[in-house]
Amino acid sequence: MATACDQAFRPYAVDTLHGDCRGMTLPPAIRDLAPGRPGLVGDPALEASHLSKRYGDVQAVEDVSFQVARREIFALLGPNGAGKSTTVKMLCTLARPTDGTATVAGFDVRRQPKAVRRRIGLVFQEQTLDDQLTAEENLRFHAVLYRVPKIEVEARIRRVLDLVELADRRRDVVSTFSGGMARRLEIARSMLHTPAVLFLDEPTVGLDPQTRALMWEDVTRLREEAGVTILLTTHYMDEAEYADRIAIIDRGSIVALDTPSNLKAMVSADTVELTTADDPIATARLTAAGFRAKLGTGNVIVFTPNGDSQIARLIDVAGVAVTNVHVHRPSLDDVFLHFTGRQIRADHAEHVLPMRMRARARRR
């Protein structure tokens, strides 16, 4: 029987709603969802109120509150150690909040952890596959843990493997996979039981741009077709753009929360980069003249409204030979800089390594 569901990853909801695939039953958690725009449907999928977490002397998360609507893609954006993973851990019941409460899919993370766990899918920052098992065995294990009915297991495994294009590696042991392949397998696994809320903690770290784009296709399709709500954390600005809303988190607290376009609008200043013969002198003079200027690496960075019309004046004030001028409208990077006073670092090599490699490196 060749139906639409054999061709693409149609995670159970849409097909069943259209009556195409009778064999597939719909998780009630998802069946309840009416299609609609984010923020307009029923209760929020996820609600954190005044969440805090202390580890000894470290205040990892402090008074974090936000709501995520059903079918929304919500991003937590922040630098290393901001408290993103800790927030995710509290929401998925792996860490107990020291203060505050949260509900996920309508259940309290403190009082009904098991009910929460049944309704969520997770991709952790660190790899959590058994690399001595094959891809298929890892998925089967997951299917049992999440009580996927036996007769559905095979079809679902096939779908998620097709989805991440690992069908041909199905019977290979995970230790023979590249880092990116292992990551894709984890993403496939998190979708296997069609969670109501999917948590992705830096899901694309270590993936090449192509695979990242593919993964984003999968994730957005999952939202469209199965009505899954997605909370992700990321360092990548371009990735945060996929989100409906972004919470910028810094030192454990949310410093800004809005849609990407609204966030950009908040930062009115354009950024002008000047490459000059003597950057320190130019910076000093521009600052003296009242501009918000700072010394960059190999250039001078000036924040000013209407950057384009200011170029002539900037060159004039700098008073040294200017070899290159670049004006750009605020990007999310600038938004981030604006709210945290810091640039988000681009290198996160450490996270690419699975835990065991880090452990090995530590021992050496």
Partner 1 sequence: MTDARLPIAPGTLTDERSDLGGELRTVGMVWERELIRFVRTRTRILSSFIQPILFLFVLGYGMSTLVGTTEGFTFKKFVFPGIVAMSVVMTAIFSAISIVWDREFGFLREMVVAPVSRASLVVGKTLGGASIATVQGSIMLVLAPLIGVHLTALLVLEVVGLELLMAVAMTTFGVFVASRIQRIEAFQVVMQLLLFPMLFLSGALFPLKGLPAWLAVITRINPLTYAVDPFRRVVFAVQHVPPAAAARFSTGVTLFGYSLPISAEIGVVCAFAALFLTLAVAGFGKPE
Ligand X SMILES: Nc1ncnc2c1ncn2[C@@H]1O[C@H](COP(=O)(O)OP(=O)(O)OP(=O)(O)O)[C@@H](O)[C@H]1O
- CA dist 2 and 15 (Å) reads 13
C-beta of 116 vs 293, nearer to partner 1: 116
CB 26 within 8 A of CB 13: yes
Count the site residues for ligand X by CB under 6 A: 12
Q: Which of 10, 89, 245, 338 binds partner 1 (CB under 8 A)?
A: 89
CB 325 within 8 A of CB 311: yes
SS3 18: coil
Site for ligand X in 71-90 (CB under 6 A): 78, 80-86
Q: Which stretch binds partner 1 (CB under 8 A): 40-48, 147-155, 160-168, 280-288?
A: 147-155
Q: What are phi and psi of 358, to 5 degrees?
A: -65, -40
Q: What are phi and psi of 287, to 5 degrees?
A: -65, -45
- CA dist 2 and 96 (Å) reads 47
Q: Spell out, one character per residue from 262 to 281, where the chain touches partner 1: x when CB under 8 A holds, - when not.
A: --------------------
Q: Spell out, one character per residue from 176 to 205, where the chain touches partner 1: x when CB under 8 A holds, - when not.
A: -----------------xxxx---------
Q: Is 55 in the site for ligand X (CB under 6 A)?
A: yes
CB 87 within 8 A of CB 61: yes
Q: Which of 87, 93, 125, 276 binds Mg ion (CB under 5 A)?
A: 125
- CA dist 347 and 107 (Å) reads 37
Q: Is 85 in the site for Mg ion (CB under 5 A)?
A: yes
Sheet holding 58-68, edge to edge: 58-68, 46-55, 99-104, 107-108
Q: Which position's Cβ is nearest Mg ion?
A: 85
Q: Is 173 in the site for partner 1 (CB under 8 A)?
A: yes
Q: Is 149 in the site for partner 1 (CB under 8 A)?
A: yes
Q: Spell out, one character per residue from 4 to 43, where the chain touches ligand X: x when CB under 6 A holds, - when not.
A: ----------------------------------------
Q: Which of 115, 289, 311, 322 binds partner 1 (CB under 8 A)?
A: 115
- CA dist 48 and 116 (Å) reads 14
For residue 78, the partner it binds in ligand X, Mg ion, partner 1, none, with Cβ less than 5 to 8 A by kind, is: ligand X
CB 191 within 8 A of CB 198: yes
Sheet holding 120-123, edge to edge: 120-123, 197-201, 229-234, 73-77, 245-250, 253-258
- CA dist 228 and 138 (Å) reads 22
Q: How far is the CB of 183 from ligand X (least distance, A)?
A: 15
CB 157 within 8 A of CB 192: yes
For residue 355, the partner it binds in Mg ion, partner 1, ligand X, none, with Cβ less than 5 to 8 A by kind, is: partner 1
The type of residue at 128 is T
Q: Is 246 in the site for ligand X (CB under 6 A)?
A: no
Q: Is 138 in the site for Mg ion (CB under 5 A)?
A: no
- CA dist 146 and 152 (Å) reads 12
Q: Which of 125, 190, 211, 283 binds ligand X (CB under 6 A)?
A: 125
For residue 60, the partner it binds in partner 1, Mg ion, ligand X, none, with Cβ less than 5 to 8 A by kind, is: ligand X
- What is the maximal distance between C-alpha atoms in the chain? 76
User: Which chain residues interact with Mg ion by CB under 5 A?
Assistant: 84-85, 125
Query: Which residues of the chain form contacts with partner 1 (CB under 8 A)?
Result: 12, 23, 25-30, 55, 89, 92-96, 105, 107, 112-115, 117-119, 122, 124, 126-133, 137, 140-142, 144-152, 173, 193-196, 354-356, 359
